[in-house]
């Protein structure tokens, strides 16, 4: 009997350890999103009628089912199934006033093929020091990013942020790994945080290929910034940096060593009635109850009026090959401006977002439209401009949120000088100007000869039914009028030429999403 009791005790102990271990392991997965979608980006067309082709209604959705005003403050489309592993540890130091932190952060992304990709998600080691007399949220912190410092960026909203991993580019490779993601770049950051202000200085180092010597060279970045609460609800922030980005591979091919250097700065003014948090994609993941609670707190409606207003601007520059002068470089400027206004009144929410990005800003990390080369003097280059306004109403008894958003966009574009080619009797397709419109980085469309881009109109209706604290059903129906979409067809002369697609686009997304 005694032996039997011992066996049962051992079994219970093993089971208890297994339960505790599995619970701890499950808790290491944070910001988990599982999404199941039924979608169609355009019910008006059949497969093969558009570029890219719409395959028809089916399970799964992608960025093709998003609008230009969606996901302003995140890198993800919202349809991904993903999670983030954070093996986090925090402990007091043997030395008074010090505290140590560390986290191994891994992004787990499920691809449409069924494969799972794992990426470092700003793993860090962090040493905090709180001098005597400082408050609970005040400290001096030194953070090291041993693999990827991509979450340590400049700028503020995700769409206008810069100086991430992609700031270091490989010769003609755009700084991309074999998976298509930017090559990870390590870094470090030293920050002083006080009750009403903060300041930081940081650095990154990357390895880039020297096209003349065919060897890797160490490149450097210096980043500084800070912010101050001028009033209780008014904050001013600014940051900037200087990067060495290797030598220009276009000029290296000619035997010329010409460095590609980049510099710039960003500033943001914020007026708010409550706290303004940065993009989730710019914050460090920590498996810490005090932090993860912020990620998943349901939308609160305390009643009355609350607001958040931000105005952000960035001005950058980098040295690229000068197409007007042989074997020389010149500075290509780039700029962005973003305005956000968000209001909440009882169970109503209203917002407006405006964005301006020059084409050189959109292509800043490539860099250039023609890689490592500035625009020619004869080109006409226009910036991206868009404005979106929307609102929604929460019905608490039904756990339902219904909303509407409308937007108007003018895409970034570049127009060539008049093109005259084809000999004494050129074909019509070889005369006149050519215009390319850019919807995103490295995503151009060439319009028919002589045509110019026109504004894009978009309207979207939304609903969200909260089924539980972590599970929701979402729906979107959107309509776009976009007369800039083209596809290529052979002319009577058997020359492939761009032709306009029909401009009307009607699509929908039906999603079941779990977030925990």
Per DSSP, the residues of 201-263 read EEEEEEEEEETTTTEEEEEEEEEEEEEEEEETTEEEEEEEEEEEEEE-HHHHTTT---EEEEE
Gyration radius (Cα) of the chain, Å: 26
Least confidently predicted of 84-98, 405-419, 457-471, 492-506: 492-506
What distances in angstroms separate CA 392 from CA 470, 500, 506, one per listed residue? 20, 35, 21
Higher pLDDT, 336 or 182: 336
Residue 488: pLDDT band with limits 50, 70, 90: confident
Average pLDDT of span 396-402: 94
**Ranges of each domain in the chain:** 26-515
Domain 26-515 matching CATH 3.40.50: the answer reads: no
Residue 497: pLDDT band with limits 50, 70, 90: confident
Q: What φ, ψ does residue 40 adopt, rounded to 5°?
A: -155, 125
Contact 434, 421 (CB under 8 A): no
Q: What is the mean pLDDT of the chain?
A: 86
Q: What was the pLDDT predicted at 20? A: 34
Residue 151: pLDDT band with limits 50, 70, 90: very high
pLDDT score of 150 more than 60:
yes
Higher pLDDT, 277 or 20: 277
DSSP state of 23: H
Q: What was the pLDDT predicted at 203? A: 97
Alpha-carbon distance of 331 to 378, in angstroms, equals: 17
Average pLDDT of span 124-139: 95
The pTM assigned to this predicted structure is 0.89
Least confidently predicted of 136-145, 146-155, 252-261, 486-495: 486-495
Residue 97: pLDDT band with limits 50, 70, 90: very high
Q: In percent, how much of the chain has pLDDT > 70?
A: 85
What distances in angstroms separate CA 291 from CA 86, 157, 284, 506, one per listed residue? 12, 20, 9, 40
Contacts of 485 (CB under 8 A, 6+ apart): 50, 51, 445, 500, 501, 503, 505
Q: What was the pLDDT predicted at 338? A: 97
pLDDT score of 17 more than 70:
no
Average pLDDT of span 111-120: 89
Residue 498: pLDDT band with limits 50, 70, 90: confident
Residue 464: pLDDT band with limits 50, 70, 90: very high
Higher pLDDT, 331 or 30: 331
Least confidently predicted of 93-107, 323-337, 492-506: 492-506
Average pLDDT of span 44-61: 87
Alpha-carbon distance of 340 to 55, in angstroms, equals: 35
Residue 311: pLDDT band with limits 50, 70, 90: very high
Least confidently predicted of 176-180, 201-205, 337-341: 176-180
pLDDT score of 269 more than 80:
yes
Report for 5-19, 28-42, 408-422, 450-464: range of highest mean pLDDT: 450-464
pLDDT score of 159 more than 70:
yes
- If 0-12 CB within 10 Å is exposed, 13-18 middle and 19+ buried, where does residue 407 land? buried
Q: What was the pLDDT predicted at 172? A: 37
What distances in angstroms separate CA 225 from CA 195, 198, 315, one per listed residue? 16, 8, 15
pLDDT score of 299 more than 70:
yes
Alpha-carbon distance of 416 to 463, in angstroms, equals: 44
Residue 3: pLDDT band with limits 50, 70, 90: very low
Helix (H), strand (E) at residue 11: helix 2-27
Tokens of 473: 């059903």
Residue 75: pLDDT band with limits 50, 70, 90: confident
Q: What was the pLDDT predicted at 427? A: 56
pLDDT score of 434 more than 80:
yes
pLDDT score of 484 more than 50:
yes
Higher pLDDT, 172 or 333: 333
Least confidently predicted of 19-33, 57-71, 134-148, 367-381: 19-33
Q: Is the dihedral of CA 419, 425, 426, 428 positive or negative?
A: positive
Average pLDDT of span 313-338: 95
Least confidently predicted of 94-103, 273-282, 396-405, 480-489: 273-282
Q: In percent, how much of the chain has pLDDT > 90?
A: 59
Residue 27: pLDDT band with limits 50, 70, 90: low
Q: What was the pLDDT predicted at 14? A: 35
What is the tens place of the pLDDT at every residue in 186-196?
A: 999 999 999 99
Residue 418: pLDDT band with limits 50, 70, 90: low
pLDDT score of 230 more than 50:
yes
């Amino acid at each position: 009997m005694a032996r039997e009791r011992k066996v049962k005790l051992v079994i219970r102990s093993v089971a208890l350890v297994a339960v505790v271990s599995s619970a701890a392991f499950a808790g290491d997965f944070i910001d988990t999103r599982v999404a199941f979608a039924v979608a169609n980006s355009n019910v008006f067309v059949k497969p093969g009628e558009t570029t890219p082709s719409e395959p028809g209604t089916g399970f799964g959705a992608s960025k093709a089912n998003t609008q230009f005003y969606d996901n302003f403050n995140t890198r993800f489309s919202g349809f991904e199934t993903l999670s983030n592993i954070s093996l986090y540890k925090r402990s007091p130091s043997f030395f008074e006033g010090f505290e140590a932190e560390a986290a191994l952060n891994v992004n787990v992304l499920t691809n449409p093929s069924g494969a799972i990709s794992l990426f470092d998600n700003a793993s860090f080691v962090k040493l905090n020091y709180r001098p005597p007399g400082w408050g609970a949220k005040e400290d001096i912190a030194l953070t090291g990013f041993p693999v990827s410092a991509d979450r340590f960026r400049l700028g503020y909203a995700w769409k206008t942020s810069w100086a991430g991993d992609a700031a270091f580019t490989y010769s003609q490779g755009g700084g991309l790994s074999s998976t298509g993601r930017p090559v990870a770049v390590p870094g470090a950051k030293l920050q002083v945080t006080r009750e009403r202000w903060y300041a930081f200085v940081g650095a990154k180092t990357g390895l880039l290929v020297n096209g003349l010597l065919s060897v890797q060279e160490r490149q450097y970045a210096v980043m500084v910034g800070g912010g101050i609460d001028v009033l209780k609800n008014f904050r001013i922030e600014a940051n900037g940096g200087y990067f060495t980005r290797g030598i220009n591979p276009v000029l290296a091919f000619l035997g010329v060593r010409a460095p590609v250097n980049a510099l710039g700065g960003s500033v943001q003014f914020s007026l708010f009635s409550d706290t303004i948090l940065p993009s989730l994609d710019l914050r460090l993941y920590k498996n810490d109850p005090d932090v993860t609670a912020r990620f998943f707190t349901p939308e609160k409606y305390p009643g009355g009026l609350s607001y958040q207003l931000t105005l952000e601007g960035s001005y950058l520059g980098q040295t690229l090959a000068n197409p007007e002068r042989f074997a020389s470089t010149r500075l290509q400027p780039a700029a962005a401006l973003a305005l956000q206004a968000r209001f909440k009144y009882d169970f109503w929410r209203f917002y407006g977002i405006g964005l301006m990005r020059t084409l050189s800003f959109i292509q800043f990390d490539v860099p250039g439209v023609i890689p490592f080369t500035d625009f020619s003097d004869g080109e006409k280059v226009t910036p991206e401009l868009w404005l979106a306004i929307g609102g929604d109403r929460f019905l608490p008894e039904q756990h339902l949120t219904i909303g509407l958003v409308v937007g108007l966009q003018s895409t970034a574009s570049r127009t060539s000088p008049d093109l005259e080619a084809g000999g004494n009797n050129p074909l019509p397709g070889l005369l006149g100007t050519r215009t390319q419109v850019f919807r995103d980085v490295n995503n151009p469309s060439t319009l028919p000869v002589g045509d110019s881009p026109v504004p894009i109109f978009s309207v979207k209706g939304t609903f969200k039914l909260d089924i539980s604290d972590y599970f929701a059903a979402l729906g979107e129906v959107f309509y776009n009028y976009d007369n800039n979409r083209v596809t290529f067809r052979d002319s009577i002369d058997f020359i492939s030429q761009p032709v306009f697609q029909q401009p009307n686009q009607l699509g929908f997304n039906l999603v079941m999403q779990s977030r925990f």
